[in-house]
Every structure is written in C-alpha cells, then in structure tokens.
Amino acid sequence: LMLAWKKRAFPRANCQLTGLFAWHRFSVVNRDQVKARIAELTDQLNYHNYRYYILDDPKITDAEYDRLFDELCALEKQFTDLRQPDSPTQRVGAPPSDKFESVRHSLPMLSLNKATKPEELADFDRRIGELLAGDPEPIEYVTEEKLDGLAVELVYRDSLFILGSTRGDGTTGENITPNLKTVRTIPLRLQKCNAVMLEVRGEIIIKKSDFARLNRQREEAGEEPYANPRNTAAGSVRQLDSQVTASRPLIFYAYGIGNVEGATLKTQWEVLQFLRDIGFLITPQAKLVADRKEVRQRYDYFNDRRAALDYDIDGLVVKVNSLRQQQKLGELSRSPRWAIAMKFPPQQEETIVEDIVVQVGRTGILTPVAHLKPVRVGGVEVKRASLHNYDEIIRKDIRIGDRVIVQRAGDVIPQVVKSFKEKRSSAEKQFAMPARCPVCGSPVSKLETEAYHRCLNLACPAQVAERISHFAGKSGVDIDGLGPKLIEQLLEQKLIADFADLYYLKRDDIASLDRMAEQSADNLIIALERSKDTDLPHLLVACGIPNVGEHVASLLADEVGSLEKIAAASETELSAIVGIGPVVAQSIRDFFANEENQQVIKKLKSVWSKLPEHQISVGPLPLKGKTFVLTGGLERYSRNQAKKILQKLGAKVSSLVTKKTDYVIAGSDPGSKYEKAVKLDITILLEDDFLKLIGED
C-alpha cells in the first residue's frame, strides 16, 4: 500500500487487492473441488484396476484409463497434500531406499511339512483322524496349488494397506511396503471389508507368459535374460528401488490370513472366499474336498497338467478346512500339524554331457561340474549340474559325451540322474580328477576317509574369493552390495587378500574400480560399517570354519560366549559341549590353530575394535527336567524369547500338551492347549507366575 501510495496508484492498488481477496476465496472453493475430484479419480481408478487385474473384466478402454490417470497425476502434482493414501499413482514406485527395516510378524509364518509319496499323505490323514478323534465336526480338506514364488504378508488397518513384509525366517521379515504398493493385484484399499485390522498372506509370482515377454524385452535391449520366474519375482520384490519393482509383471495370490479383528471366519474355504470378495486374487484352482481320496485325485490332476499351467507350481497344499480344528491340532516348532505340502516328483529331461569342469570351493574342495547341452527342465534352462565328487562319477559311470537324464532336485538344483550306456558310441571319454589344482597349480590331495579331492594351498585365489564371498553372505556378516564380481576385482587389484582386509578399504579404492561410481563406493563403506553390528553366531559362520553351520555356531556362542575363548578352547573342551562331536571339535581346533587364520582374526579384531560377545548361561539350572508349553501372548516377552529363557534355565519347551507336561504358561487369548491342560490337570502359570519363576519382578 505504501508503494502504491508513493506511486499515486490507489485505484490500481485497490483493484489488485480486491482481485487478490477474490482469488483467495476462489482458491478455497477450488481446493475443495480439487479434493473431491482427486478422491473421485482415486476411487474410479482403483475400481478399474480391480476390474482389470482381479476380475479380468475391464469396463473402460486403456485410453480412457490413461486419461483419468493423467488427470489424477496432474492434480496431485499441483496439490501434493491432497493425495489419497490409496492413490494408484503410488504404484509407479518411490525413490530408492538405503535398506529394509525388520518387521516382526504378529503370528509366525510357518513352513509346511512335505510329502513326496502317497503313503506320507495317508500318514498325514491318519494322524489328523487320531488327533481329532471324537470331534463332532467332520474332517474336510482344502487343496490349493503350491505356487512357486515369494511368500509375503500384507497388513491392513481400517481397510487401508499400511505394511508389507517378506516371510524372512518366519518370525521376522523385511519391510518392503513401497515395493508391494507397485503390485497391481494388491489392493491399496479393501472393498466392503468390515475388519478393523487384517493380515493377509500370499505369494508373489510372475506368470510364465509374462516372464517370456520380459526376457524377450531384455534380449532385444542386449541384456542377459533372467534364469526363472521364481528367482526373478523374489529379486524384484526385494529391490531397493521400488521403481524397478514397478517395471516387473508381478502378481499376488492370497492364500490365508494371520491376525484379524472385526471379522469372524470359521473355515479355510470361507477365508478364501472372503479374500476374493474384498479384492484379492486367490489361488486359481483351490477346492474343498471331502477326504484323502479326493486329495489324491487333485494331486494327480495337477501333476499331469502343471506344465500346461501359466504359473509355476511345485506341489499341492492340503489344509484341514475347519479353523477350530486347526487350532485344536496346533503346531510343531516350525510347521502346523493341520497342513502338508505334497511335492511333485522332479521333472526330468534328456541331454548330453559336453564337458566336465572342476570348480574349487572356499575350503579347497574340488567339485566336478557337468557342462550340459542346454535343456529346459520344469520351465528352467539347465546348462550345468554338480557331479559332487569323483566317486559319484564312477558310481553313475558318467562320461564326457554321454546322453544323460537331468532333473532339478526339489524342482531347484539341477542334477544328473543317470547315463544311457546303451546309447554310447566310441567317442565318449572317461573323466579323471586333476593331480594339480586347476586354479593355482598346487598339488591335489585325497584322504582315505574323505570322498572329495582338495587343493592344499590356503592362498589359492579360488578359495580366497569363495571364503570372502561366504564371509559377506546373508548367513555371514551380511555385507550388502559385495558380490562375486566386485570381490574378483578387489583381489585382482591386490586391494584385499582376505576378508579382514575388506575393513581397510578406502572410498577412493572402491570408486576406482570398474562400474563403481562414488555413490556405490559410499554405499559399500556404509555396508561394511553396518556389518560390524553382527552377533557372534553369524561371525562364527562367516569365518568359514569347516563343519560349523548356524546350529553349531549357536551352540558355541551359547556355551563359550566369545570368539577368543572358542579359539583358545581345547578339543576336549569343545567335545564336551552337547551337540558337538569329536570330528567337529577337531575342525574348530584345526581352524584356530592355523597361523594364517590367526593372523586374519587378529587383523579383524584390530579394525573392528571389539568382536561381538554372547551372553552364556551360568550357574545352576533350576528348571532342568521340567517340560513347559507356551500358549497365548505374553506382554513382557515374545513366545520365542520366553522359550529361550526357559531353555537357558534347563527346561524343555514343547509345542504339545501331554501327560508328561509339567507346566503350561498361558498368556492372553490362550488356545486349545490351555483347555487340554485343564482337562489333564496340569499346572497352569499366568504371566506373573512365569516372571516370578524366572526371577523377575
């Protein structure tokens, strides 16, 4: 106004101010209209997504859909704060993430026991009958195709998708919510769902036809084709950049639920229909059957036709239909008693062994590998198959040039089943193990007590690369971004000689390597620093001690407590640990007695400043000889934590209530185990009683 007064432009200034107030009044109205239009477009597009991806019955053309989508994008770009939480524009992906956070499942995502023979199905059916003897409800089964993909869990609150995670170890998974939002068969908002909270479980897959199309596009672009739909689907979902996930033709099929609030469901069949009604695809040919005979018919039906399906399956899942009966049957430590996976026999094909090449592993073991004439086995192209060791080659009489039968063990690992001796010409060649390592030229040794040949040179480049790769792997210290090709470059440039050297790398060392930009170098430095937060069992596995896997590493951590004490322990002391025999004890002792290994551990300790330690149980075991069963939810501890506490005090923790059970610990919402404990007159402890028992206030 002062500026206008100075310019003696009061009439114009007044006009501008009036226009400004008028524009403000209009913009408020306009925002309300925009908000309503954004909500309308969001609902319309979500509805048409449902018609297209779930019902396969579109009601508008692609051009009409694109017009609506473009309009929504334009409005959200101008009014970012008005975007709806279930907006379909979120399906295009978000900026790259640094890492995945851990998510604890409210109920464990259990794996299934497997059956490969008809008699195993009969045993399963018999056990169900015995455990449900006298139950008033008839026993029915639901059969579902066992989709070959990646299991995930989706969490909805008030019908809105709020969290998505991988199965992980069954108890804890990875938060991949932004990635799952890009999967168009996952509804961002549920339809006609009264549940306040709902956990949906299912499988992420890629159809065979979509996979073939994806590989054609990659080949046209000069890129390597992907190996198989299952691995591609799993890798797509775990991309740090969700925009990459959005570019992949992923599909989600729902097959079950976890926790649910606000909806009552009585059977697995009702669960599937409920999931379909609220907007999900369900396993395509699920069926309710009356008995074991019908289950077997469904198994034979899919086994005969699985090659013709447009999605990979590796078996048939059989579940007891009644949810009440499922609860009554309970679960084992890793799998439910009320379900089983009937696996199909491996698919086999005939091909030719073009060569046998020896590979050297991290422990120096020489493994002969058959190079095959490429052949598709169960939808996957197979070019190589491990022959394990020389004795196996002799036993199966496999020669270079032989025609052989190849199968994928468990529909995953390629293996040579047998050779056709009757089809031989005179051109086949017998294979002989080399006397010297094919990588470093050092002598090869074979002990009479071992089935394999071994390179004795600990500095063999092949062994070093494999040891470093093992150290950095998921079962080791988990250094994200450190793959085999990068390790190979680091070794070639003499930047590292062992896994401890990784922690002496500088940012500029990494950035100077091929295909390693500054950002990639920064990410690897961060990953190396983060890997120091590992626990003792993972560090023990990472060290690559022969015969020490996850189980033995946990035993060592629980009983000894630190790497230094384990390294100093005698063979006799190690053998005294329950679960560790003389062979394993000798492997551990030999590893830490090796001077080269001592130097590597010394370097690691120097650069880490402090190696991880593990709290060990000391003192008396007051609960030794007592058997406990946990049921319901505890406030202070998870069920798994409570189990570990009891075990450290000497107790045995079982999942089944029997006459031999001493105590049942009952938390909130206890299940059938509580009822059985009452019936058998077993002592029941509430959470306060449990805390007093373990010495807590």
Residues catalogued as catalytic: 146
Helix (H, G, I), strand (E, B) or coil at 428: coil
What CA dihedral angle connects 296, 297, 298 and 301, to 10 degrees? 120
> H/E element holding 198?
strand 197-205
Q: Position 48: which residue type?
A: H
User: Is residue 146 a contact partner of residue 316, using CB atoms and an 8 Å limit?
Assistant: yes
Q: For residue 612, what are the contacts with CB-CB under 8 A and spacing of at least 6? A: 534, 535, 536, 539, 563
User: Is residue 252 a contact partner of residue 202, using CB atoms and an 8 Å limit?
Assistant: yes
State the Cα–Cα distance between residues 328 and 347, nearest whole angstrom. 37
State the Cα–Cα distance between residues 189 and 112, nearest whole angstrom. 30
3-state secondary structure 345-370: CCCEEEEEEEEEEEEECCCCEEEEEE
User: Is residue 242 a contact partner of residue 250, using CB atoms and an 8 Å limit?
Assistant: no
State the Cα–Cα distance between residues 588 and 569, nearest whole angstrom. 9
Q: DSSP class of residue 96?
A: P
Nearest to 243 by CA among 46, 66, 90, 100: 90
3-state secondary structure 447-484: CCCCCCEEECCCCCHHHHHHHHHHHHCCCCCCCCCCCH
What are the tokens at 294?
């019908």
Angle, in degrees to the nearest 10, between helices 595-608 and 582-593: 70
State the Cα–Cα distance between residues 175 and 167, nearest whole angstrom. 10
The β-bridge partners of 359 are 367
What are the tokens at 562?
């630190």
